[in-house]
Chain A
Amino acid sequence: MFELILSTALIFMTLSVLATIYRLVKGPSVSDRVQALDSIGINLISGVAVTSVLLRTTAFFEVILLIGILSFIGTIAFARFLERGVVIEHKRSK
């Protein structure tokens, strides 16, 4: 019963990722695409977490942390590019 619930959750997460990929491709503005990328990262994290509960292992926790860090940095880079037009400034404007 427990495994059935977890598998159903995984299936719905996959559907959610697919729906987000539609927004990623179709999205009218760049902000929509950035948010879609971030949302895909969060869905991946939850998918890995559910999988590690399903397999009864702690081996994937580092994967969760790494996906979280990379998705965070990627979202910040895109946000800075949208707001300032430059990702890494050479000299900070005080």
Chain B
Amino acid sequence: MKEPNDVILRSVTKVAVLIILTFAINLFFSGHHNPGGGFIGGLAFASALTLLFLCYDIETVRENIPVDFKAVTAVGVLISVFTGIGGIIFDRPFLTQAFDYFQLPLFGKTELATAVLFDIGVAMAVIGTAITIISSISEDR
């Protein structure tokens, strides 16, 4: 019997993973005034990593992305909590956010908000949780 190989899947994955990762970052940064944000950006990122897991195998992906995803979850939650505490330091309620307009080179007038830092924490927590669940479910034994 012929050994099944997946040349087409691997060729498609090399292109599609790039597109999905770019789309995830776009979703993440369109957070405030458009649909998007940390949670859904993290989920799209995790789906790109899932596609890598499907196309290759766990060992190869772990060799090339040597990140402990449980630690990613913990660091993400810590970042979110510390941005919340930042409000308390400036004598405001917990999780108060601030924004201002800055003149940046190449971007022009840009709105920078502290909620993006909170969103980074949320995205890291979502990525870590999703990848941990998927890689521990897929263990055979």
Contacts and interface: CB of A to CB of B under 8 A. Distances in A.
B113 interface: no
Interface residues of B, number: 28
B66 to A, nearest CB: 17
B94 interface: no
Contacts of A73: 47, 50-51, 54
A65 B23 contact: yes
Contacts of A70: 47
Interface residues of A, number: 21
Given A62-B35, A76-B9, A80-B54, A88 B47 contact: no
A76 B47 contact: no
B140 A86 contact: yes
Given A59-B35, A62-B35, A62-B36, A88 B54 contact: yes
Contacts of A19: none
Given A66-B44, A76-B9, A87 B54 contact: yes
B71 interface: no
Interface of A: 59, 62-63, 65-66, 69-70, 72-73, 76-77, 80, 83-84, 86-92
